[in-house]
Structure 1
Amino acid sequence: MLSNIRICDLQTNISKHPYRTPMKFGGRVVSGVDVLEVRCTVETKSGRRAEGLGSMTMGNAWSWPSQVVSSDQTLAAIETLAQRHAAAALEAKVEGHPLEICHTLAKLLRPIAAEVTQEAGLDEAMPQLACLLAASPLEAALFDAQGKALGTSSYRLLGKDYVDSDLQPYLGNDFAGRYLDEFVSPQPQASMPIYHLVGALDPLTDADVDQAVGDGHPETLAAWIEADGLTHLKIKLAGDDLDWDIDRVARVSRVASESSRGAKTDWRFSLDFNERCANQQYVIDMLQGVAKVSDDANGRIQYVEQPTHRDLARFPENTMHEVTKMLPVVIDESLVDLESLHLSRELGYSGIALKACKGHAEALLMGAAAQHYKLFLCVQDLTCIGANFLHSASLAAHIPTVAAIEGNGRQYCPAGNEGWEKKFPGMFEITDGTVETGLLNGPGLGY
C-alpha cells in the first residue's frame, strides 16, 4: 500500500524531571522521572517523508517493582532496552503499517531484554510490562510519523484501505474481517473530564500540610478542586490498612462536598489499590465500611482499579466476581497481552485500563477488544508530561466509551509541561475540570 512506511532514521534522548512533591503508590514513593524520547523519520511508498515524535515517562517503580533489583538498576535496564530496541528497529528494515511494524518489532523485545539483564548481572528477568514500556516511545513515533507523512490524523489510517490485514492475527477469530476503524473515532472528543490524582501522601486540607512547597501551585486537594474546578478524583489507597482506606475515601468525599462546587456536583471517584489487597473481600469490606461513615462516597465511585496482585495466573484464587456485582473492576498492571485480557474476564474483572505507556498499537488493540466484549474502559497515564500526556489524551479522546482521562503530571511535575502549554493551553490551563481534547486534531497523533 502507498501508505505503508519504512524507518529511515531514529534518534533517542533521555531527560530527567524532578517532582515538586513526592508521590506514593503501592507502598512506594517516587520523587522524579526520566522521559525517553524517540524521533523517527519514515518514508512512505510514494516517497513522502516525515519525522514522528514519541516519548514516555520511564515508570520503573510501576512496571518493575522488584524486591531483588534496585530501582536504579531497573531504570537503567529499561532505558537500555528502549535504546537498543530502537536501534534494532532501524536495522530490521521492516515496512508496512505502524500496527504491523510494531507487531513485528515486539518479537525482538524479550531477546534484547534478556541480553540487557544478563550484561548488567541482574538476578531477575525483566517483566513483560517493563518491556512494553520501553517500546512505547518508538510505537508512538511510528504512528505519529505515518500520519504526518500523509498529512492526516493517524486515527484516520486504521481501516482496510491502509492496513494489510484485519484484526484476526492480533485478536483472534472474533475479529475476522474487522478493522480498527470500527473501534476508533476519526475525530477526537471536543473535551473530556480529567481525573485528578489524590496520592497517599497528598494533603487534603490546610490542616494536613506539614511544610508548604511554596511554588505557586495548589498545596492541597481542596485548593486543587477550587483552582481547576475538578469533578473526577482518583484516590490512591493502601490496600492493607482497612481503617486508613475507609477514612481516606470518606475524607476525600467530604472535601469534595465542602468545596465551592458542593455536594450537588456529579462527583466521580476511582479507587486504586495498586495490587495491595489480599483478596476481593478486602474491597467489599472497605466499601461496606465507607457506607457506614459516609452518606455519599460510595455513590460517587465510578470504578475500582487492580485490587490484587498483577500475576493473575499465579493467583487464580483472586477473583473479582463479587466486587463486579457492585461496580466495575479494571485491570491495569495485569494487562500485557490478549491472553491476560481473557484470563482477567474469567476471573471476574469487568474492565481494563488503557495506557499509552504499554504501546500505542497495544492500546488500540485492547481498546477494540474491550468494546467487543463490552468491558468498562478507562485511559490512565503514568504521570505523563508534555508530549506523552498529549499522546495519552489523544488516545482517550479517540476511543469510544472512554468517559474521562487521567493527567497528574501537572500536579507532580508541571515543569515538564513547559513549552507545550503554550501550544495547547486548553490541555494544561484547567478551570472547569475538563481538558480541550479537540485541540489534538493535527496530523499524526494530534500534537
Structure 2
Amino acid sequence: MKKLLVSLLFCTASVSVMAQRAKVASADENLKKQDLEKAKADIDAALQNDKTKNEAKTWLVDGKILEAMGTKQKSSALAVEAYNAFKKALEIDPKMKEAILEMNQPLFNVYATIANAGYADLNEQNWDSSLINFKKAFEIADFYNGKNLGGTIPTDTALIFYTGYAANQAGKKDDAFTYLKKAADLQFKGEPALYVILGQLYEEKGDQANWLKTIEQAKALFPKDKRFNDMEMAFYSKTGKSDELLAMLEKKIAENPNDEAAVLDYAIRVDNLANPRDERGNDAPKPANYEELIKKAEDAYKKAIQLNPADATANFQLGALYFNRAVVFNKELNNLDSKQQTSPKAKELQTKVEGLMNQALPFFEKADAGFSAKVSNLDTSDRQTYESCLYALQKIYAIKNDNAKVEEVKKKLDALTQK
C-alpha cells in the first residue's frame, strides 16, 4: 500500500504540473486572441505554482502579455514589468529557443513604450520622470542588443540628447554631462540647444579647451545661429582672450580679403567685442579699447558692403552700429537736467545723435529693400534681423517727423509679425 500511495502522490504531482503548464498554454492562446484579462489571469496562476513559476516559458508568456497590455495602455509601468519578465526568462534559460521568435518584437515594443513615456514626461516638464524612463529605455536597448535576439536597437542620438536635456533640467548635472557629451560626440544635429547646454557645463567645470571646442563644433553645425557667436564672444571675454580672437580673425581676413562672408563675420565679432553683453543679454561695461574696436568693425562692415552692396545683413549691421551709438548719446542727452538742456553740451549731444541717425538711415533702407525682396523665404534669424531693422527705421522716421514713412514701415512690421 505504501508503494501504491507513493505512486499515487507522484501521479498527482504530475497532473498538477501538467495543469499549470496548460495554464501557460491557455494564457498564450488567449494572448493571441487579444483576451488580455484571461491571459493575465492564466499566467498569474502559473506563476503562483511552485513548479511552473521557475520555468522560462512561464516568464516569457508573462512578458508577452504584459507587453501587449503596456503597449495598448501606453503604460511605462507595465512595460517595465514586461522587461523584467523577459529578463527572468533568459536568466532561467539563457539559450531559450523561443526567445528569437517570441521575444524580439515584444521587447522592442517595451523599449518604444518606455522611451515614448519619457518624451511625454518631457513635454509635460516632468524632468525626473522623463529621466527615469529614458535611462530605463537605454537599459533595455543594451539588454536587447546583448542577447542575440535576431535584431538590434540602433543608437538614437535624439534620445541621447533629450536624456541629457531632461537630466540638466532636473539638476542632475553629472547625468546631463554624460549624455550630452555622447550626443555631441555623435555629431547630433537635431537641436542646437545641445551645444548651448554642453558649453555651459564645460564652463562650470572650468574646462576651457572643451568649452571652446564645443562652441566651434556648434558654429560648424549651425552657422546661422547667432547664439554661438555670442557664446564665443563670451568665452574670449570671460577668459580674457580677446586679443587672441582678434589676431585669429585678422589673420583669416588677411588670407581671404575678398571673402565677403569672412569679412562680415569678422565685423560682427569685433562689434560684439566692443559691445559685450552679460548672460542675461544686458549691456556690459565697454572695453578700454572700445573706440578702436568700433572703428575696426565699421571699416569691416564697409568692406563687406563694398564686396556685396546688396547684402541686407551687412547693411543692417552697419546701420545698427551707427544707430546704437546714437542711442547711447541720446540717453546721455535725456539724463541732463532741465537747466542743461540748452547748454553747449546738450547741443553737442543732439548733433551727434542726429548725425549718427542720418548715417544709419541709408543702410537701414538698403537692408529693408534687401529683406523685403525675399521676405517670404526668410529664415527665423533673418526675420528677426529684418524686424529689428524696421523698428529702427520707424524710430528714425519718427524723429524726422516723416509720418508717411512711419506708417509705411508700420504696415511692413504688421505684415511681418503676422506671418
TM-score bracket for this pair, using the shorter chain length: under 0.3
Ranked by relative contact order (alpha carbons within 8 Å, sequence separation 6 or more), the top structure is: 1
- Structure having the higher helix fraction is 2
**TM-score, structure 1 normalization:** 0.20
Q: Which has the larger radius of gyration?
A: 2
- Structure having the higher strand fraction is 1
